[in-house]
Homo-oligomer: A and B are copies of this chain.
Amino acid sequence: MRLSTKGRYGVTAMMDLAIHDNAGPVTLADISQCQGISLSYLEQLFAKLRKHNLVEGVRGPGGGYRLSRPADQISVAEIISAVDEKVDATKCNNQGDCQGGERCLTHDLWTELSDRLYTFLSGITLSQFVNRPGIHELAIQRDKINGRFILARRQAEVLNQSRQHN
C-alpha cells in the first residue's frame, strides 16, 4: 500500500471523470490544465488506469476518457493500487526467516495495519464525493468559465432528462 502524489493525481483525475460521468468523455488536455501536470504524464497514468479496467478511452474529436463502471463501484483503494502498482511486501515476511528462524511479529502487525487501511479505502467510492448536493451545479459553472461550453450544455440536457425520468 502506498500513497503519494501519483496516487493523488490518479484519484483527483478519476473524480473529474466521475463528475462529468453523464456528460460525455473528458479529455486529458482538460485534466492536464486543471491539475497543472503534463499531458504525457497523465497519459502514462491513464494507461495504467485503463489496464486495470477503471477507465476507457474514446478516440477522435469529442473523445476523451470515461469511467468503465458506475462511480459507486470504483473505490479509492482500486485507483491507488492501479497507478502505484505493486505493493512490495516486507523483506523477510512470507519467507518467514527473520533472523534466527523466528519471524518478526511486528511484520504481522504491520500486515494487519495495511489490511485495515486497504479495507478503509475500499469502502470509499468515487460516488461518495460526487453525489453530494451542489457538486454537479458547481461543475457546470466551473466548466462554463473554463470553456467547456459544449460539455456543459450536454451535461445540462442529461441532467434535465434524468429529472424528467424521476
| A interface list, Cβ under 8 A from B | 1-5, 8, 11-13, 15-16, 19, 33-37, 76, 88, 90-92, 98-102, 104-107, 109-110, 112-114, 116-117, 120-121, 124, 129-130, 135, 138-139, 141-142, 145-147
Contact = CB atoms under 8 A, between A and B. Distances in A.
Given A110-B12, A113-B76, A113-B129, A4 B2 contact: yes
B129 A124 contact: no
B105 A138 contact: yes
A94 to B, nearest CB: 13
Contact of A105 (B101, B107, B113, B139): B139
User: How many copies of this chain does the complex contain?
Assistant: 2
A93 to B, nearest CB: 10
> A interface, by DSSP: helix, strand, loop or mixed?
helix
A130 B106 CA distance: 9
Contacts of A110: 8, 11-12, 15
Contact of A142 (B15, B35, B102): B102
Q: Which of A3, A101, A120, A130 has the most CB of B within 10 A?
A: A3
Contacts of A2: 3-4
Contacts of A146: 99-100, 102
